[in-house]
Structure 1
Amino acid sequence: MTNFISSWFWSESFWLPGNVTWADLEHPPPGVEWPRAGHIACALPLALAVLAVRQVFERLVAKPCAHIFHIQAGVSRPAQPNAALERVFASNRSPDDRQLEGLSKQLDWDTRKLERWFRLRRNQDKPSVLKKFCESMWRLTFYFGIFIYAMRHLWVSPWMWNTRECWYNYPFQPLSPGQHNYYVAELAFYWSLMFSQFTDIKRKDHVIMLIHHLATITLISFSYANNMLRAGTLVMAAHDASDIVLEFAKLTNYAKYQRLCDCLFVVFALTFFITRLVIYPFWIVNSVLFESWEIIGPYGCWGFINGLLLVLQCLHVIWFYTIARMAVNAIFKGKVARDDRSDVESSSEEETTETSGNKARRISKPKEENGTNGHCLVNRGGGGGGGPAPNDRSSAAPTEQINGTQTTH
């Protein structure tokens, strides 16, 4: 049974172009090595090592840097323990007026007291700016380092400047140490993201990011086993370029350098557009889809990999729509609005707007109890001063100007 499954999965008609067999790849010329699927098996244990390195980096490097910018973890004010309200909160984090009135009668609580309880309870689940700063600094460090490594390799590679070189003499193309190291590092990093997404800051589009990570891991693994490394290195480098700017912009936002953050976000929007909506589809995908068809012809794995590339392109279009709206706000309104794309923390969303009756109550008492201003550009997860007044829902969850994307591969 095992042999049958193995022979079915490694079918030559799926993995290899016509007139090429596995036997043809068994004995490369002296001094030459071709990619084999087993080469990247080390990525899984390396992903665990990446997670360990990340913990050390965040503790010894990112946190001290955050303290330089006076970014503290902060402790949110806890909500009064109440089992009945906890059950309601589990199903609805922001109950409407009708639900609040029902709870008011059931518990003999004033509706303002209930509003305050739900606001404090939401604040308890919000990640601190310190946590978000450390996460972004780790990603920035990886993306910047791996991008520099990739460009050192690609700059002297002929397929960087002529994508048809990706397909000449395919699949009999030698594996270089630079290609192998680049692939293993990227695959280990994205496996680490798969493992850590359940403990990292939860995003609004958790399902989309899960699809993205799965597509990325599958694409990297299949392109390596299929020896599409030349095109694969171009795909990964194109994605890393915009991620660097995005993570840097997030760091400036957490440090409250708002003007610099706005400028960097506009640069990120331009970089994202150039790399993922111009270079990626019209240069890289065009080569994998059309130039390869012309030179080597279509086959099973070729179609599968092109399908994954097109899935990533659909995600790019969806994300850029929101990015463009935010960039317009940064240019014409002088600030980056709340990021609704992939990296917005669901726990940092603005509170649900109340009905007009509640708005009237908010207007009558706009200040927080501790006398501080109710508006804040960066959500500090309940840290700093005291919480907002019970009737000031607009200040309960200040918007975060920019919260990143992996976007992705």
Structure 2
Amino acid sequence: MCVETHDIFNDPLSMWIEWESGEEPKMHWQVQIIYAVQSAFYIHSIYATLFMDLWRKDSWLMFVHHFVALALLFLSYVNNFTLPGVLVLFLHDNSDATLEITKLSFYLKKRTNGQYYKHYFLVGNAAFILFAIIWVIFRLYWYTCKLLYATIYGAVYLGPQDAPFFPVLGAMLIIIFGMNVYWFNFIARMIWRVALTGEDPEDNREWDTTAVSGLNQQKLDELATVKCHLKPKNV
């Protein structure tokens, strides 16, 4: 991730160059656009988790994640710690993209008329494998050896010590890493089940859950099936 002369991905400690010399770094316009778009996304995600999405085992954790992410964006912007903030976004967004490709592919592979599209099945499996690999590399490995190294360890020596939200931001980054580890548990279980049974990857967070409407997933599937077989009345 490069911003003008800063290569904060390959050299994470470079995010503190200006702070180390006693100067506050300038706010890059590219970063301001990224912050605006991401803030809008997380505001919508908080609303969607509470009122639109199917309620799952980890829905409250998802809500906390979106709230912490939005707070990180706001507090890092106030303190002008936007370079670490951009690195956080870079390490997370790529896995989100591959996850959505996986979901769309499996939604499209079989239609209500019974037609089956194998190429969507193949794309979905490939995207899921890529998603799992990216999660491990970006959210677990690089998150610790690049982001946490630069912000928890490096910032103690190079960053501003009088920033009002400095300790809070560090705690939030550790909380997000804990969430990444927790969610990887679902990914690992899904990979193990698919490897043993040959079943399609399915969201195992939806087991024993209830939708916002009060109906469980099985009942919702039954209602959807009935609705698909209903024919419109002749006028």
Interval of TM-score (by shorter of Structure 1 and Structure 2): 0.7 to 0.9
Shift of 1:155: 8.4
Asked if 1:215 is matched to 2:215, the reply is no
What is the one-letter code of the residue matched to 1:306? G
Structure number having the greater helix percentage: 2
| Partner in structure 2 of residue 176 of structure 1 | 28
d(CA) in 2 for partners of 1:268 and 1:206? 20
Instruction: Output the amino acid matched with 1:162.
Output: D
In the other structure, the counterpart of 1:340 is 204
Is the 1:159–1:230 contact (alpha carbons within 8 Å) kept by the matching residues of 2?
yes
Post-superposition CA distance 1:199-218 (Å, at most 9, x none): 32223122111111110110
Distance 2:59 2:97 in 1: 21
Question: 1-side partners of 2:91 and 2:40: how far apart?
Answer: 18
1:89-120 residue CA offsets vs partner (Å, 9 max, x unmatched): xxxxxxxxxxxxxxxxxxxxxxxxxxxxxxxx
Tell me the equivalent position of 1:295.
158
Please say if 1:236 is aligned against 2:93: no
Determine the C-alpha separation between the residues in 1 that align with 2:129 and 2:6. Answer: 31
Gap runs ≥5 in structure 1: 1-150, 353-377, 387-409
Equivalent in the alignment of 1:164: 13
Deviates more, 1:244-253 or 1:190-199: 190-199
- Number of equivalences: 210
Matches within 5 A, 1:284-323: 284-296=147-159, 298-299=161-162, 300-323=164-187
Q: Distance in 2 between matches of 1:242 and 1:325?
A: 18
User: Secondary structure of 1:169's match?
Assistant: helix
Q: Aligned AA for 2:7?
A: P
- TM-score, structure 1 as length reference: 0.47
**Which residue of structure 2 lines up, in the alignment, with residue 362 of structure 1?**
none
**Which residue identity is paired with 1:271?**
I
Q: 2 CA distance for matches of 1:343 and 1:177?
A: 44
Of the three residues 91, 94, 99, the one matched with 1:246 is: 99
The AA in structure 2 aligned to 1:181 is I
CA distance in 1, matches of 2:200, 2:216: 15
Q: Give the 5 Å matches for 1:62-211.
A: 154=3, 157-170=6-19, 172-204=24-56, 205-211=58-64
AA in 2 matched with 1:287: A
Deviation at 1:258, TM superposition (A): 2.8
1:184 is matched by which residue type in structure 2?
A
Shift in CA distance, 379/287, structure 1 to aligned 2, threshold 3 Å: farther
Counterpart amino acid of residue 269 in structure 1: A
> Structure 1 residues 338, 313: CA separation in 2 closer, same or farther (over 3 Å shift)?
same
Contact 2:50/2:63 (8 A) holds in 1: no
2:112 maps to: none
Deviations 1:47-68 (A, max 9, x none): xxxxxxxxxxxxxxxxxxxxxx
C-alpha separation in 1, matches of 2:216 and 2:131:
22
1:381 alignment partner AA: A
Runs (4+) of structure 1 moved beyond 6 Å? Answer: 342-345
Q: Rate the CA distance shift 1:154–1:246 in 2: closer, same or farther, 3 A.
A: farther
Contact 2:49 2:62 survives alignment (8 Å) = no
In the TM superposition, residue 380 of structure 1 has moved relative to its aligned partner by: 9.0
> Within 2, Cα distance between the matches of 1:263 and 1:324?
16
Greater Cα offset, 173-182 or 259-268: 259-268
- Please state how far the C-alpha of 1:262 moved relative to its aligned partner: 2.2
CA RMSD of aligned residues (A): 2.9
**Aligned runs of 1:369-380 on 2, under 5 Å?**
none
Given candidates 266, 270, 279, the residue that maps to 2:142 is 279
Give the partner amino acid of 1:196. A
Match of 1:405 in 2: none
- Between 191-200 and 205-214, report the one with greater CA deviation: 191-200
Deviation at 1:381, TM superposition (A): 3.4
CA distance in 1, matches of 2:105, 2:208: 16
Could you say which residue in structure 2 is the equivalent of 1:265? 128
Relative to structure 1, the CA distance from residue 237 to residue 344 in structure 2 (aligned partners, 3 Å threshold; closer, same or farther) is farther
8 Å CA contact 2:210–2:217 kept in 1: the answer is no
Residue pair 1:242, 1:271 contacting (<8 A) in 2 also = yes
Q: Distance in 1 between matches of 2:189 and 2:139?
A: 17
Identity %: 22
Aligned amino acid, residue 168 of structure 1: I
